[in-house]
Amino acid sequence: MKADKLPALFIGHGSPMNAALDNPFTRAMGALGKALPRPRAILCVSAHWLTEGELRLSGSAPFETIYDFYGFPDELYRITYAPPPAGEAARATAALLTPAPGIEGRGLDHGAWTVLRMLYPGADVPVYQLSVDYPAPGKDHYELGRRLSVLREQGVLIVGSGNIVHNLGRMSPEQDAPPAQWNLDFDLKVKEYIDNGRRADLAAYEKLPGGKLAVPTPDHYWPFLVALGAGLEDKASYPYEGYHHATLSMRAVLLG
pLDDT tens, 134-167? 999 999 999 999 999 999 999 999 999 999 999 9
Segment 55-81 mean pLDDT: 95
Which pLDDT score is estimated for 203?
Answer: 97
Q: Tell me if the bond preceding 99 is cis, omega within 30° of 0.
A: yes
Sign of CA dihedral 84, 113, 164, 167: negative
* Structural domains of the chain, ranges and CATH numbers in brackets: 8-255 (3.40.830.10)
Which pLDDT score is estimated for 118?
Answer: 97
Do 229 and 160 form a contact (C-beta atoms < 8 A)?
Answer: no
Which pLDDT score is estimated for 4?
Answer: 81
Q: What percent of the chain has pLDDT over 70?
A: 99
pLDDT band at 1 (very low <50, low <70, confident <90, very high): very low
Q: What is the pTM of this model?
A: 0.96
pLDDT band at 3 (very low <50, low <70, confident <90, very high): low
For residue 234, pLDDT over 90 is answered with yes
Do 4 and 155 form a contact (C-beta atoms < 8 A)?
Answer: yes
> Does residue 2 or residue 180 have the better pLDDT?
180
**For the purposes of burial, counting CB atoms within 10 Å of the CB of 172, is it exposed (0-12), middle (13-18) or buried (19 or more)?**
middle
Q: How far apart are alpha carbons 91 and 13 in whole angstroms?
A: 27
Q: How far is the CA of 1 from the CAs of 39, 79, 215, in angstroms?
A: 14, 37, 42
